[in-house]
């Protein structure tokens, strides 16, 4: 197996290119794509085999993996997350789309991986037209996890050509949406109806509280 490299304009992604990538997702493929922070590994949330493959690439067991979902807007979030109060929802409306991962209690609809029911889910709505377009065309969220670099100085690879060279034998498609950033999303725990900072990344939550 060898991945295809698909160049997509990050500001105005053409629908036919997005559909090409969505076709790969629908067939159970794993793709690499740009977000508003770093490049991510992704697959269809409803395809358990694809999730297992993604976890193998990442080197984690499915029931131990901290995987997040990419949604195209807030309407998907309540399907998978439980107990979102009005004050929390108001902050989400202000902060999203943006460089944040919000952690909530998992709803009964949240998919199981490795046969394990999740206690929590991480939700992202990135401010990036390629991944928002992918989710809209697919019709449901994409599972996502960051690609990390083995280089200690450069934690996240930002050059799509280098990403393609490295992951070509492992994934089905690499989307080149230009150079990525090398700062991950800010992770916020909302499970206690509060905004607890777990990891400071590209987003500043304070400005939305």
The residue extents of the domains of the chain are 4-207
Find the mean pLDDT for residues 121-137: 96
Q: What is the pTM of this model?
A: 0.93
d(CA 51, CA 74): 23
- The closest alpha carbon to 96, from 157, 36, 55, 51, belongs to 36
Q: What is the pLDDT of residues 63-89, one digit of tens each?
A: 777 789 999 999 878 888 988 999 999
4-207, CATH topology level = DHBP synthase (3.90.870)
- The closest alpha carbon to 40, from 27, 30, 26, 49, belongs to 30
What SS3 class is residue 198?
A: strand
Q: How far is CA 39 from the centre of its chain?
A: 9
């Amino acid at each position: 197996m060898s991945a295809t490299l698909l160049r997509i304009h990050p500001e105005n992604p053409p629908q036919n290119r997005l559909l090409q990538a969505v076709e790969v997702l629908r067939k159970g493929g794993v793709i690499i794509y740009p977000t508003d922070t770093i490049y991510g590994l992704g697959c269809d949330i409803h395809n358990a085999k694809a999730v297992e493959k993604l976890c193998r690439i990442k080197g984690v067991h499915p029931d131990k993996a901290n995987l997040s979902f990419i949604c195209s807007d807030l309407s998907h979030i309540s399907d998978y997350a439980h107990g979102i109060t009005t004050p929390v929802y108001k902050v989400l409306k202000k902060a999203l789309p943006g460089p944040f991962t919000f952690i909530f209690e998992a709803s009964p609809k949240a998919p199981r991986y490795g046969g394990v029911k999740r206690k929590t889910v991480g939700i992202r709505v990135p401010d990036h037209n390629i991944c928002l377009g992918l989710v809209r065309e697919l019709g449901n969220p994409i599972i996502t996890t960051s690609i990390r670099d083995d280089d200690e100085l450069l934690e996240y690879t930002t050059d799509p050509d280098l990403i393609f060279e490295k992951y070509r034998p492992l994934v089905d498609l690499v989307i080149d949406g230009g150079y990525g950033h090398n700062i991950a999303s800010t992770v916020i725990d909302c499970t206690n109806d509060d905004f607890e900072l777990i990891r400071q990344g590209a987003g500043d939550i304070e400005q939305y509280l």
